[in-house]
Amino acid sequence: MKTVTRILSLAALALAPLGAAHAMQQSASLRCGIVNPTGFVNYVEEHKPTLVELKADFSCLTIIMPGQATTLEYRHDNSRFYAKTDEYGRIVGGGFN
What's the CATH number of domain 37-96, 3.30.10, 1.10.10, 3.30.450, 3.30.1560? 3.30.10
- Which pLDDT score, from 0 to 100, does residue 20 have? 46
**Element containing residue 25 per DSSP (H, E):** helix 2-30
Could you tell me if 85 and 66 are in contact, meaning their C-beta atoms sit under 8 angstroms apart? yes
3-state SS class at 37: helix
List pLDDT tens digits, range 15-69.
555 454 444 444 444 556 789 999 999 999 999 999 999 999 999 899 999 999 9
The domain ranges of the chain are 1-30, 37-96
Residues 6+ apart with CB under 8 A from 75: 96, 97
Q: Nearest-CA neighbor of 61 among 80, 36, 76, 35?
A: 80
pLDDT bucket at 74, cuts 50 / 70 / 90? confident
Q: Nearest-CA neighbor of 57 among 73, 77, 81?
A: 81
